[in-house]
C-alpha cells in the first residue's frame, strides 16, 4: 500500500490544497483506504472527508452527495461513475453549488463515450482508473496522456509495472491487436488465501495476472478496453464475433436507458444467443419493441441483440451492489426456452 501511494503521488503531483471526498468505510473498503493513506503522505495540502453513509450503493436520492460537495467544498470525489451520471442528470443539480469539484474517479464499471465526455467536460481533472483488488486497485496512469488519450483509453502502465496483450494460447500480441490484458509487477497480489487452485488459474507459472478483460494496446502503450472475456459473444448469423461495448454504448445512448448489460447464452445449433438487459430511467416508459427498433436504426442486423429485456432495476448482489449476472443468465435461459417451446408449437 505504501509503494502504491508513492507512485500514486507521482502520477498526480498536485501541490494545491485538495479536499478529497471518499466513500464512508461502512459502504466501501478499497478507495477509502487508498485515499486515507494518500492523505497521510500529503498531510500539508490534502484533507480526506468521509461522505455520509446515506451515499450508499442503493441510493435513490443523489441530493445527499451534492449537498456534501457543496458544504465540504470537495475538490475530488472517489466514488463510482453511476453516481456522477445520476448527479449530472438530476433536475435538482442547479440547486447546489458543486463548482469546487474538479475531479472524480471513473472506475468499477464501463461508461459510454457520451457519458464519459460529459463527466470530463464537467470535471476536467477526472481520472480513469483501471485495475482490481489483485493489483492494489489501479495499475495505469494518464499523467502524460493527451486529452484524447485520457478519454479513449485507461492510460499506460504505472512505473515498474508490466502490461501485455495475449492471444488465445498466451502468446504476446503486437500493438493494435486484440486480446486479453495481463499484468505483473510490484502491485501484484501474492495469492488467494488458502486457494492455490484459483491462484494458479489467475497467475499461472509466470506471475502474469490474467485480468479477464479484452483490450488493445497502441504504440504509445495506452490500452483501450473492449469488454470482458466472459462477455465476448458470437452472433448467431455467419459466426460474427463482436465485443459487447458496441451494444452497451448503443443501449446507453437511448434517452430512456439508465444502464445496460449484455450476455450470451450458448446455443449448440446457431452459436450464442445475445441477450440485452436494460434498466430504464425512473418515471419513463420503455418497451422492448421500442428498444429493438432503436437498435435496428443504429446498427447492422448482425450487431443487434436477439433478445431485449427492459427492467425497472437490474438485479444486484453483494455490498458493492454489482449486477447479478447469474440471475440475468437464469432469466435469459428461461425466456429462450419459452420462445423455443412456442416456436415448436407453432410448427
- Position 337 scores a pLDDT of 85
Considering just the CA atoms, what is the radius of gyration of the chain in Å?
Answer: 21
Query: Given its phi and psi angles, is residue 160 left (phi above 0), alpha (psi -120 to 50 degrees) or beta?
Result: left
SS (H, E, C) 138-157: CCEECCCCCHHHHHHCCCEE
Q: Where in the chain is the domain with CATH 3.30.300.30?
A: 232-346
Set of cell numbers at residue 106: 471513473
pLDDT class for 296, splitting at 50, 70, 90? very high
Cite the residue boundaries of each domain of the chain with CATH code 3.40.50.980: 2-129
Mean pLDDT across 157-176: 91
Per-residue confidence (pLDDT) for residue 229, from 0 to 100: 78
For strands 307-311 and 273-280, give the pairing. Answer: parallel
DSSP string for 149-195: HHHHS--EEPTTEEEEEE-TTSPBPPTT--EEEEEEETT-----TT-
The dotted CATH code for 161-226 is 2.30.38.10
Give me the CATH topology for the region 2-129.
Answer: Rossmann fold (3.40.50)
pLDDT value at residue 83? 85
Given this structure, which CATH class describes domain 232-346?
Answer: alpha beta
| Whole-number pLDDT of residue 314 | 92
Residue 106 has pLDDT above 60, yes or no: yes
CA-CA distance, 323 to 82, in Å (whole number)?
13
Residues 141, 146: Cα–Cα separation, whole Å: 12
Rounded CA separation 83/96 (Å): 15
DSSP helix/strand/coil, 262: strand
Assess whether pLDDT exceeds 70 at residue 29: no
Beta carbons within 8 Å of 111's beta carbon, 6+ residues apart: 81, 85, 119
Q: Where in the chain is the domain with CATH 2.30.38.10?
A: 161-226
Residue 303 to residues 238, 295, 296, Cα–Cα distance (Å): 11, 9, 9
SS3 19: strand
Task: Please determine, for residue 115, whether its predicted confidence score (pLDDT) is greater than 90.
Answer: no
Backbone angles phi, psi at 279, to 5 degrees: -105, 115
pLDDT band at 260, cuts 50/70/90?
very high
**325-332, Cβ contacts within 8 angstroms, sequence gap of 24 or more:** 325/261, 325/263, 328/261, 328/263, 328/275, 328/277, 329/263, 329/265, 331/277, 332/263, 332/265, 332/273, 332/275, 332/277, 332/307
State in Å, rounded, how far the first CA of the chain is from the last one. Answer: 63
| The pLDDT of residue 75 | 94
pLDDT at 93 over 70: yes
Burial class (CB in 10 A: 0-12, 13-18, 19+), 210: middle
Task: State the chain's mean pLDDT as an integer.
Answer: 84
At 236 the pLDDT is: 57
Amino acid at each position: 500500500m505504501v509503494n502504491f501511494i508513492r507512485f500514486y503521488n507521482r502520477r498526480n503531483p498536485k501541490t494545491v490544497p485538495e479536499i478529497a471526498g471518499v466513500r464512508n468505510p461502512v459502504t466501501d473498503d478499497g478507495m477509502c483506504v487508498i485515499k486515507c493513506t494518500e492523505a497521510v503522505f500529503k498531510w500539508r495540502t490534502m484533507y480526506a472527508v468521509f461522505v455520509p453513509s446515506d451515499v450508499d450503493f442503493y441510493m435513490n436520492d443523489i441530493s445527499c452527495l451534492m449537498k456534501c460537495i457543496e458544504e465540504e467544498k470537495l475538490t475530488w470525489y472517489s466514488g463510482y461513475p453511476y453516481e456522477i451520471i445520476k448527479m449530472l442528470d438530476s433536475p435538482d443539480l442547479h440547486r447546489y453549488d458543486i463548482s469546487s469539484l474538479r475531479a472524480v474517479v471513473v472506475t468499477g464499471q464501463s461508461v459510454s463515450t457520451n457519458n464519459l465526455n460529459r463527466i470530463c467536460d464537467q470535471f476536467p481533472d477526472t481520472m480513469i482508473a483501471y485495475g482490481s483488488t489483485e493489483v492494489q486497485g489501479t495499475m495505469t496512469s494518464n499523467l502524460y496522456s493527451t486529452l484524447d488519450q485520457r478519454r479513449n483509453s485507461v492510460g499506460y502502465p504505472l512505473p515498474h509495472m508490466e502490461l501485455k496483450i495475449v492471444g488465445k494460447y498466451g502468446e504476446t500480441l503486437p500493438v493494435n491487436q486484440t486480446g486479453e490484458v495481463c499484468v505483473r509487477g510490484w502491485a501484484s497480489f501474492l495469492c488467494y488465501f488458502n486457494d492455490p487452485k484459483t491462484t494458479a488459474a489467475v497467475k499461472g507459472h509466470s506471475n502474469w495476472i490474467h485480468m479477464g478483460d479484452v483490450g488493445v494496446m497502441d504504440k504509445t502503450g495506452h490500452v483501450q478496453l473492449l469488454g470482458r472475456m466472459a462477455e465476448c459473444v458470437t452472433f448467431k448469423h455467419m459466426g460474427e464475433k463482436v465485443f459487447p461495448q458496441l451494444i452497451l454504448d448503443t443501449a446507453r445512448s437511448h434517452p430512456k436507458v439508465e444502464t445496460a448489460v449484455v450476455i450470451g447464452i450458448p446455443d449448440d445449433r446457431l452459436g450464442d444467443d445475445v441477450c440485452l438487459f436494460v434498466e430504464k430511467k425512473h418515471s419513463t416508459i420503455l418497451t422492448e419493441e421500442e428498444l429493438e427498433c432503436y437498435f435496428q436504426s443504429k446498427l447492422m442486423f448482425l450487431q443487434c441483440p436477439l433478445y431485449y429485456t427492459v427492467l425497472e432495476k437490474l438485479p444486484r448482489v453483494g455490498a458493492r451492489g454489482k449486477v447479478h449476472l447469474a440471475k440475468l443468465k437464469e432469466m435469459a435461459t428461461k425466456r429462450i426456452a419459452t420462445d423455443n417451446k412456442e416456436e415448436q408449437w407453432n410448427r
